[in-house]
Amino acid sequence: MKRRNSIVVTMLMGASVIALTACEEPTVDAAVFESLQQCLSDPDMDPDQCRQSFTAARSQHQSVAPKYSAATDCEADFGAGRCEAAPYRTSDGGSIFMPLMMGYMMGSMIGGRGAVAAQPLYRSANEPRSYRTADNKKVGSATGRTQVARSAANRPSVKSSTISRGGFGASGGRFGSSAT
């Protein structure tokens, strides 16, 4: 009886390992930097690629960053002093708030593959050392060349609604295209 139980336990453990491995998302090569200067200081990085990717991430920031109707809601998700007023307002004149861009991700230049979309990165109040995409995909805390989940490497979605309460990635009231 004991032998049978140990065989069952061994089989269950093996099945668990296989199930966990099958669920693990594939990774892709990327480069993560806190600032343009950090990228430019990396001897393994192409300075022109650093600049191009930073510019692309910075230009996306306003459209892809999570939006909040109240600064306190934004700070609840990203931390005190880590939010800014968006450069536009709601259709009724109200302010919109979004997190500060805390870094950026770019495609890795390893082997000439640049499949990762350049994009801004943020840090949540719950995990202040880890980077997250605008779609709330965890990138990790490493800077320089690294590996990220394939889903985190996708181009972030445009955020066309504000979040009226805490919950990075949730949705709330629309601010629409009439924001100025």
CA angle 62, 47, 120 (to 5 degrees): 20
Lowest mean pLDDT among 88-92, 128-132, 133-137: 88-92
Give the pLDDT band (50/70/90) at residue 165. low
Residues sharing a CB contact under 8 Å with residue 2, sequence separation 6 or more, in sequence order: none
Q: How many other C-beta atoms lie within 10 A of the C-beta of residue 123?
A: 21
What is residue 142's three-state secondary structure? coil
Q: Can you tell me the distance from the alpha carbon of 133 to that of 151, in angstroms, rounded to the nearest whole number? A: 10
Q: Can you tell me the distance from the alpha carbon of 178 to that of 180, in angstroms, rounded to the nearest whole number? A: 6
Per the structure block, which two tokens stand in for 178? Answer: 């009439």
Whether the predicted pLDDT of 169 surpasses 50: no
Burial of 57 (0-12, 13-18, 19+ CB in 10 A): buried
Whether the predicted pLDDT of 18 surpasses 90: no
Measured in residues, the chain has a length of: 180
Residues sharing a CB contact under 8 Å with residue 76, sequence separation 6 or more, in sequence order: 125, 166
What is the predicted pLDDT for the residue at 177? 36
Give the residue among 102, 141, 137 at the shortest CA–CA distance from 117.
137
Query: What beta strand segments (E) does 11-66 contain?
Result: 27-33
Phi-psi region of 112 (alpha: psi -120 to 50; beta: other; left: phi over 0): left
Instruction: Note the pLDDT tens digit of each residue in 53-96.
Output: 999 999 999 999 999 999 999 999 999 999 999 988 888 888 89
